[in-house]
Structure 1
Amino acid sequence: MPLDEFDRAIIAVLQEDARMPVAQVAERVSLSATPVSRRIKRLEEEGIITGYQPVLDPRRLGLELDAYVLINLDAHSDANIERFEQAILDSPYVIACHAVTGDMDYLVHVVARDVEHLSQITLKSLLRIPGVRDVKSIIVLETVKAPRTLPLD
């Protein structure tokens, strides 16, 4: 079902603050609370809104280092891919993983306490996953833009 202007406005408000009470969302989008509540429920049921979670500051949690790790597998068999992806799912320091095009097979987003911790994650975890051939790490020096919202146009 396509989104109308009210759906987009509701989503935009919830992207700013997902804990905002329905009455306040309604006020911001110029609708009454009941239709806003129904629309939010529909957006959730349709899978447009897939959940709510707090946005955490990794540095305040002692995770000072942000890195991307490019990984190549030595073979692309189903078993090799399943083994790799399960190991990635099991790693608490991997916060995102994407299969990608180009020279590498996966782009893995890792958070770590420091460079030594990243080294441990890379050498003692990622490189030891059976089937991993190459690993290249890129350490983030500064984040210029890290959107937490999606464009709605």
Structure 2
Amino acid sequence: MPLDEFDRKIVQSLQIDARMPVAQVAERTALSATPVSRRIKRLEDDGVIVGYQPILDARKLGFELDAYVLINLDAHSDDNISRFEQAIQDNSYVIACHAVTGDMDYLVHVIARDVEHLSQITLKSLLRIPGVRDVKSIIVLETIKEMRAMPLD
């Protein structure tokens, strides 16, 4: 769905602070509060805005380690894929999982307390999912850029 100039300004404001009062969003968009409220409701109804959630600091919650785990399955049967995807859904330390192209089948984003905890997650959980053949871990040393806001150009 194409966004007009006002929709883009509204979404940009909400990406900065989703709790921003409608009056403040209206001020930033040069519209009054009523049309801004209607536009926000339409953006939500149309699925452009899919929800609101706090952004948590993983380190303050004790998760010092950020890692990516590359996973290959031994077969690509429907049962194998379903079992794998359900196990990933059930693992609270997996914060994202993507089916990917290339040498590996999945790219799994994992948070852990430390290297020992990552080892436990990898060896006792991910590697033991039926149908998993290969697992390779990449530990993040430093995050150069991390954005959750979408470009609206």
Alignment TM class, shorter chain as reference? over 0.9
Structure 1 residue runs without a partner (length 5+): none
1:83-122 matched pairs, under 5 angstroms: 83-122=83-122
1:3 corresponding residue in structure 2: 3
Deviation of 1:148 after TM superposition, in Å, equals: 1.5
Residue correspondence of structure 1 range 107-146 to structure 2 within 5 A: 107-146=107-146
Give the count of matched residue pairs: 153
Question: One-letter code of the match for 1:137?
Answer: S
**Aligned pairs (5 A) from 1:1-153:** 1-153=1-153
* TM-score, scaled relative to structure 2: 0.99
How many Å separate the matches in 2 of 1:74 and 1:15?
Answer: 41
Residues 79-124 of structure 1: CA deviation (Å, up to 9, x unaligned): 0000000000000000000000000000000000000000000000
Q: Deviations over 1:45-70 (max 9, x none)?
A: 00000000000000000000000000
TM-score, structure 1 normalization: 0.99
Q: Which runs of 5+ in 2 are unaligned?
A: none
